[in-house]
């Protein structure tokens, strides 16, 4: 399993548009992708679960990736967050 932390820079936080794009990006990989905020977590492929985390600007999140293509998935997720959130 691999993981990384990211601080949300988008002034609106994770709203519907970036959450939808995240689900689409996470769906490209066979690895399990989990987004964590504090004690709460959501699968990277579940739109409503991601939005229910209430991720706002300056929140620190952890992204965990586990599976066959975790190297590519971690890099893809890092690129996604840097480009969108």
- Asked whether the CA dihedral 54, 58, 64, 69 is positive or negative, the reply is positive
> One of 1, 7, 15, 17 is an active-site residue; which one?
15
Burial class, 51, CB count within 10 angstroms (exposed 0-12 / middle 13-18 / buried 19+): middle
> Would residue 15 show up in a list of annotated catalytic residues for this protein?
yes
Catalytic residue annotation: 15
């Amino acid at each position: 399993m691999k993981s990384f932390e990211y601080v949300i820079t988008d002034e609106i936080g994770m709203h519907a548009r970036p959450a939808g794009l995240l689900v689409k990006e996470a769906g490209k990989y066979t690895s399990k992708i989990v987004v964590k905020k504090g004690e709460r977590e959501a699968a990277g492929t579940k739109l409503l679960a991601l939005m229910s985390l209430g991720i706002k600007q300056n929140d620190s999140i952890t992204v965990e990736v586990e599976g066959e293509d975790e190297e590519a998935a971690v890099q893809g997720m890092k690129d996604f967050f840097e480009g969108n959130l």
